[in-house]
Structure 1
Amino acid sequence: MSTEIVIRELSELSEFDLCVDLQLTVWNYSQQDLIPRRVFLVAYRIGGQVLGAYDGDRMIGFAMGLPGFRNGHSYLHSHMLAVLPEYRNGGVGRRLKLAQRDGALAKGFDLMEWTYDPLEIKNAYLNITKLGAISRRYKADFYGSSTSPLQGGLPTDRLYAEWWLKSDRVKTALAGGKPRMEIERSVEVPAAIYEWKANEADRDKAAALQASNREALEAAFAQGLSVIGYERDADGTGRFLLGRWDEDLLV
């Protein structure tokens, strides 16, 4: 790994082919779930965003976003972000997100959204604590069945991350601070979830946790609460922290 990872915009079909290859390496998708290079091309051409992270001449990660519109508000939907396994936990994913933020702001967006697996502890911690996103919407089995072994045969439940790019909360989080929060309840994800998903004998434990957390999060959202914090214990257990999202950006 070189000392300097470079992130730049992608625009050529040959670069999009590398994004397709990275999908296979990261998620081991079958052809039915693979996003083809034409979608990357369309994203680039219609005002979306395709970014690549390079270590020298080698692409080691990418991020792809599409423009979206909901409730009278335009936003950038970050549909996919991938980093090669040997480059994870080194800040590449965060750098890709920050580059996406810069690009989104330059295009006039003040909101980015994406979906993430509520059982993925490190990803949730990055989204909520490090980036300052919030979550207040849950979609059960968002993508239908997945051919990626990382899903562990479970429904593709997803939380929506809302990243209000100009908010005080996001600015505070990106500066390494802790946004103000009053926590009313929490929902826990045990560190053992990864073992449960990987071992067929424990798959029922993973499914039971997914179902109970889905119910808890949906109930909290229905009562006007949002995920406004996320913490991790020393053993790796994660915890969603729920409270009121009080900045004047509700749409």
Structure 2
Amino acid sequence: MSHSPAPVEVRPAGFGSVEVRELSSPDELEELMRVFDDVWRPDPTRRPVGIDMLRALSHSGNYVSGAFIGDHLAGGSVAFLSAPAGEALHSHITGVSRRGRGHHVGYLLKMHQRQWALARGLTTITWTFDPLVARNAYFNITKLGAEPIHYYEDFYGELGDELGGGVDSDRVLMSWALHDELPSSVDGVGSVEALIAGGAVPVIDDSDRSRPVAHHERLDPDATVVVALPRDVEAMRVSHPLDAARWRIVLRDAMSPLLLEGDARRSVRFLRSGHYVFGPAGSGVR
């Protein structure tokens, strides 16, 4: 008996229907590769995943899905079962093409992935993301309610795609507890100025947006900490690549010491203004 959930179909107001379902045929997988190429624009010799690997993952019972707007594939996601065995799924790649933008395709893919994992008795989905990309931080933390748990320097090495901008591939590992309720509010509101006035500590001085500075001496285990991001680092990587590289180093210096484990773990929020907000040490312990 199959554990696969029924296709997820949603009709957001003002848009056509979006259907998410698993993919397995070579033709579908080839189309999925074209979607990923549209998103990442990689070096053809260094694509993020190959057709043979997609076919192997699908055939062996892992997660390979696509989101359709009408007859057109507009996004997709690939994940594989991971440790601890029988508990976790690791989401390797999720992308939405230009056709899919504005149709909630990314959110629907993650909801389908969540349903798929729950149907198999899994409890957690993990994935990595670039912590410099504000829109992805907002989506992962505020909209999905996933938790950042570790900072990895240059996780993949040189990726050779346009979005990465040729700089170190630092990543934050996210953990999504599937039995937790989804966020009831996804506003991500909050005034950074009010937080700082109330005692929160900004650890990145971004008064000169092209030359941010990290202030390690401001880190205090008892303080709420605010970490700023550039508004659009992907555009910055094209127009001002040196500035984007500076932001990479500064964010690494500021953020990696805040993603603690054990009794010192901090809670994490992300504001629409483009700021991480870390609670005091111990505030993220469940």
Query: TM-score category by the smaller chain?
Result: 0.7 to 0.9
**Counterpart in 1 of 2:103?**
90
Structure 2 unaligned runs (5+)? 1-13, 189-221
Aligned residue type for 2:170: D
Report what 1:21 is aligned to: 34
With over 3 angstroms needed to count, the CA separation of the structure-2 counterparts of 1:73 and 1:107, relative to structure 1, is: closer
Q: Which amino acid aligns with 2:104?
A: G
SS for the counterpart of 2:46 is coil
SS in 1 for 2:90: strand
The whole-number CA distance in structure 2 between the counterparts of 1:177 and 1:41 is: 36
Once the two structures are overlaid, the 10-residue window that deviates more, 150-159 or 37-46, is 37-46
- Cα deviations across residues 86-113 of structure 1 (Å, max 9, x unaligned)? 3224311001000000000001111000
1:230 and 2:244 aligned: no
Structure 1 residue 47 displacement after superposition: 2.9
Which one of the candidate residues 152, 177, 193 is aligned to 1:139?
152
Distance in 2 of aligned mates of 1:213 and 1:80: 23
Does residue 105 of the first structure (1) align with residue 118 of the second (2)?
yes
AA of the residue aligned to 2:80: L
Largest Rg, 1 or 2: 2
- The 5-angstrom pairing of residues 1-150 of structure 1 reads 3-34=16-47, 35-70=49-84, 74-150=87-163
Q: Detail structure 1 runs of 4+ shifted over 6 Å in the superposition.
A: none
Q: CA deviation at 1:155?
A: 0.9
RMSD: 2.3
Task: State the Cα distance separating 1:210 from its structure 2 match.
Answer: 1.0
Equivalent in 214, 217, 220 of residue 252 of structure 2: 214
Matching residue of 2:206: none
1:184 aligns with 2:224: yes
SS in 2 for 1:219: helix
In structure 1, what is the Cα distance between the partners aligned to 2:101 and 2:156? 24
Check whether the contact 2:266–2:285 (CA below 8 A) recurs between aligned residues: no
Residue identity matched to 2:234: Y
Contact persistence 1:227–1:240 (CA under 8 A): no
| Equivalent position of 1:245 in the other structure | 284
| TM-aligned CA distance change 1:203 to 1:172, over 3 Å | same
Local SS of the residue matching 2:149: coil
TM-score w.r.t. structure 2 length?
0.76
Q: Percent identity?
A: 28
- The amino acid that maps onto 2:237 is K
Distance 1:177 1:126 in 2: 9
Matched residue type, 1:161:
M
1:164 matched to which residue of 2? 177
Aligned length: 234
Higher helix share: 1
- 40-49 vs 128-137, which moves further: 40-49
Shift of 1:198: 1.1
Cα 1:37–1:192 change in 2 (3 A) is closer
Rounded to whole Å, the distance in 1 between the matches of 2:126 and 2:170 is 16
How far apart in 1 are the matches of 2:61 and 2:170? 28
Which SS does the other structure have where 2:157 is aligned?
Answer: coil
| More divergent stretch after superposition (222-231 vs 117-126) | 222-231
